[in-house]
Amino acid sequence: MNAIELNGVTWRYEHAEEPALVDVNLAISEGEFVLVIGPNEAGKTTLVSAIKGLIPNAITGVLKGDVLVFGDRVESIKPPVLAKQIGFVFADPESQFTALTVEEEIVFGLENVGWPRETIGERVEWAARITGVEDLLDKPPYDISGGQKQRVAIASVIAMQPRILILDEPTAMIDPLGKDLVVRICAELKNDHDMTIVVVEHNIEAFAPLADKVVMVNEGRVERIAPPREIFRDLDHLLARDVHPPQVTQVFGRLRERGLYHGELPLSDEEGFAGWRTLLDGAAR
């Protein structure tokens, strides 16, 4: 059974003339790290909102097709149960804060799903540690920096230990140091906790090395689904859609196009260094 399945999903927002999603079919296995990319207004956020059940439960419009989470239609799952299965981190962290302190923010979801006090204490400690917000627990969540806010938002969601975690542009509103921390958290959740993770991002550079699969969305349609190296081969196609693969991938992609490089496309700087070493070794011979 897939963790997530979308079958023929078409969605039109209320008051909109055109659908934001058109006949989307997508399957995500448990434990996969999926990167969703595409130009602005492509439908990426709409796609993940449909997976989370925000569409159609919290957002009005017309939905056709099915969204299944572990085999159940997402519309039929009660919010507390769905919250235990899927966590959702919004692009603007402050928009999701509803409590008066960071601690309460983390606790809120745990109370909603019905955990007892002892479990809540353990989960708060765990989530705060993983996201590095232990020192912020007593502070108002709207009174901290952008990077801290995003980490608090992530902490408040992962505390519920959902089986699936969706992050909608998690690095959009934070500084470079904050971005690195978010990426590190995602890596830890993937590697150590086997969470199914779906990330919508423009900052592909940071997340590409973690991704098992990349979903390319454009004009409400899923154009391609493939492993990252395969998707990033077609550089011109991506750049035409204002989607920028990691710089190191672009460089080696261009070298490959010119027949100067024949290895795997690197997705990270480390892989890039290895690629350069291969090239230089080849040149030295």
Partner 1 sequence: MPRSEFAKKTLLGVVPADSPFYAFHPVTRLTLLLVLSVAPMFIDRPEINLAIIATTFGLFWWGGVRMSDLKKYRLLLVTVALFMFIVAYLAPGEKAQLTPVSLAGLTLYWEPMRWAFVSYVRLMAMLFGAILYFSTNRERDVLVGLRTLHLPFPVSYVAGLSLRSAGMFMEDFATIREAEQARALDLDALSLREKVKLYTMYTVPLFAVALRRADEISAALYARGYTLSGQPGTGGKRTDYLRDKFVVRARDWAVSLGLLGTLVVIAIVSRTTSVFSVQSSPLIAFVEQLLGIG
Partner 2 sequence: MATNSAAGNSGKIWAVEEGERRSPGIIHVVMMALFIGIGIVVGTLGSLAIPIGFVSAFWPGQAVQAVGATWFGAWGVIAGMFFPFISNAMSGSAPIPVSAAYLPANFIQGFLAVAAFKLLNGDPRLRTVRDWTIWVVFGVLVANFLGAFWGTYVLSWFGLITDQARIPALLGWTIGNSIPSLIFGSILLKYVTPMVIRSKAFVKGWWA
The residues, any chain, with a CB within 8 Å of residue 170's CB and separated by 6 or more, are: 89, 91, 150, 154, 182, 186, 199, 201
Residues touching partner 1: how many (CB under 8 A)?
44
Assess 191 for contact with partner 2 (CB under 8 A).
no
List 33, 88, 232, 261, residue binding partner 1 (CB under 8 A):
88
Please tell me whether residue 62 adopts helix, strand or coil conformation: strand
Residues 99-118 interacting with partner 1 (rule: CB under 8 A): 99-101, 103-104, 107-117
Residue closer to partner 1 (CB basis): 101 or 250:
101
CA atoms within 13 A on the CB side of 243: 29
Question: What tokens appear for 184 in the block?
Answer: 């590190």
Q: Tell how far CA 255 is from the center of its chain.
A: 30
Does position 15 bind partner 2 by CB under 8 A? Answer: yes
List the single partner that 15 binds among partner 1, partner 2, none, CB under 5 to 8 Å by kind.
partner 2
| CA dist., res. 261 & res. 57, Å (int) | 49
Cα(8)–Cα(149) distance, integer angstroms: 36
Per rule CB under 8 A, is residue 285 in the interface with partner 2?
A: no
Does position 97 interact with partner 1 (CB under 8 A)? The reply is yes
- Site residues for partner 1, 138-167, by CB under 8 A, read 140, 142, 156-157, 160
Helix (H, G, I), strand (E, B) or coil at 125: helix
Count the residues in the chain: 285
Sheet with 86-89: strands ordered across: 86-89, 164-168, 196-200, 33-37, 213-218, 221-226
**Binds 176: which of partner 1, partner 2, none (CB < 5-8 Å by kind):** none
Amino acid code (one letter) for 285: R
With CB under 8 A as the contact rule, the residue among 7, 25, 29, 60 that binds partner 2 is: 60
- CB of 79: closest distance to partner 2 in angstroms? 9
What is the closest distance, in whole angstroms, from the C-beta atom of residue 53 to partner 2 in the complex? 13
Can residue 15 be called a binding residue for partner 1 (CB under 8 A)?
no
Binding site for partner 1 (CB under 8 A): 52-54, 57-59, 78-84, 87-88, 90, 92, 95-101, 103-104, 107-117, 120-121, 140, 142, 156-157, 160
